[in-house]
Amino acid sequence: MKRILVTGANGQIGSELVTYLRLLYGDQEVIASDITLENCSSPMEVLDVLDHEKFRNICESYQVDTLIHLAAILSVNAEKNPQLAWDVNMQGLLNGLEIAKEFNLQFFSPSSIGVFSHESPKDKTPQLTTMRPTTMYGISKLSGELLCDYYYQVFGVDTRSVRFPGLISSVTPPGGGTTDYAVEIYYAAIKDGHYTCPIKEDTYLDMMYMGDALKLIVDLMESDSSLLSDRNAYNVSAMSVCPKMIAESIQKYIPDFTISYEIDPLKQSIAESWPNSIDVSIAQKDWHFNCQYDLDNLTKHMLASLQK
């Protein structure tokens, strides 16, 4: 990667990834773009990824060699507006892939544990298994994986991807997903000492700290292409946790912290359709994927940075 365009750069991942990439590759080499530019710093461009011509012109004028495509609608918002989710998650991705094909760009667009469903094995879910997602988000993410694979197989585009679990971070709040509770709980712990959780206390989902997610994106993108056995998306995760475990971890640092539960039926049903835990062994084998943060480490860092 030498000159990189990031779409969806204002979001939970993009806001931290742009800073991280600029430290590694230089400020002028990482161009941030989003549909609005509230918090982006220069170089930056306003870009709706559905505007193919502008998308293409930005890639051409900056002579980028890498496209990190983060613009998307997340799971809960996608259920509330399925048509918008299909348009952004599919047409936006297709526009990015077409441009990557035209300019021979390296291409990264994250998939999600949302590609799995009730019909997938619940524990240690393999990378390749039954996948029949029942949400618009999952359907668009799984279709997106297949599209990336197609562009690699048919057109030779260097597509790379992972299935991110819920990401926990302290810079930009998440944008309408099922795993948002795992971020909100830390903000509430600092602010109110109490959190009302929309997900049942014993619902397990995979999670990862943002620091590990940023590092793995660069590790995967810088890996030797010949090592990669999968161009759809690698399973990656740092931990499988439930709300009760996160609350207990917070109580180690804030003993008076309390949690109660008011279940949100939409979020709960999506969470229950996703795995308890996924198998990450193929990513470990192919490109030495690993994570530094376990739950207590993550809690310590989240609380410290939110307290600041």
Catalytic residues: 137
Q: What residue 49 binds from ligand NAD, ligand AKB, none (CB within 5 to 8 A, per partner kind)? A: ligand NAD
Q: How far is the CB of 53 from ligand AKB (least distance, A)?
A: 29
Q: Is 16 helix (H, G, I), strand (E, B) or coil?
A: helix
Least Cα distance to 111 among 95, 83, 131, 81 occurs for 131
Which region among 120-128, 167-175, 264-272, 279-287 touches ligand NAD (by CB under 6 A)?
167-175
CA distance 245 to 6: 34
Say if residues 257 and 194 touch (Cβ distance below 8 Å).
Answer: yes
Tell the smallest beta-carbon distance from residue 232 to ligand NAD (Å): 14
Pick between residue 14 and residue 275 the one whose CB is nearest to ligand NAD. 14
Nearest distance in Å: CB 8, ligand AKB: 13
- Of the candidates 112, 159, 203, 237, which one interacts with ligand NAD according to CB under 6 A? 112
Which residue in 4, 49, 59, 68 binds ligand NAD (CB under 6 A)?
49
> By CB under 6 A, which span of 58-66, 169-177, 261-269, 283-291 interacts with ligand NAD?
169-177
Which range of residues in 12-20, 123-131, 225-233, 294-302 is near ligand NAD by CB under 6 A? 12-20
One DSSP character per residue, 19-58 reads HHHHHHH-GGGEEEEESS-SS--SSEEE--TT-HHHHHHH
- Concatenated DSSP letters of 222-259: HS-GGG---SS-EE--SEEE-HHHHHHHHHHH-TT-EE
Q: How far is the CB of 107 from ligand AKB (least distance, A)?
A: 19
Give the dihedral of Cα atoms 138, 140, 142, 143; nearest 10 deg.
Answer: 160
Q: Give the residue at shortest CB distance from ligand NAD.
A: 11
Could you give the CA distance from residue 184 to residue 191 in angstroms, rounded to a whole number? 10
Distance CA 235, CA 148 (A): 15
**Selected binder of ligand NAD within 22, 25, 35, 98 (CB under 6 A):** 35
How far apart are CB 59 and ligand NAD at their closest, in Å?
14
Tell which one of 179, 235, 237, 273 touches ligand NAD (CB under 6 A): 179
β-strand pairing of 4-7 with 66-69? parallel
Nearest-approach distance from CB 167 to ligand AKB, in angstroms = 6
Q: Which does 92 bind (CB under 5 to 8 A by kind): ligand AKB, ligand NAD, none?
A: ligand NAD
User: Which burial class, exposed, middle or buried, applies to 202 when counting CB atoms under 10 A from its CB (0-12, 13-18, 19+)?
Assistant: exposed
Both tokens of residue 290?
């690993």
- Of the chain, the end-to-end C-alpha distance in Å amounts to 33
138 makes contact with ligand NAD (CB under 6 A):
no
Return the one option of ligand AKB, ligand NAD, none that residue 178 interacts with (CB less than 5 to 8 A, by type): ligand AKB
Q: Which token pair is 161?
A: 């991807």
Q: Give the interface with ligand AKB as residue ranges (CB under 6 A).
A: 74-75, 112-114, 137, 165-166, 177-179
Confirm if 240 and 292 have CB atoms less than 8 A apart. no
Residues that bind ligand NAD (CB under 6 A): 7-8, 10-14, 34-35, 47-50, 70-72, 74, 88, 92, 110, 112, 164, 166-167, 174-175, 177, 179
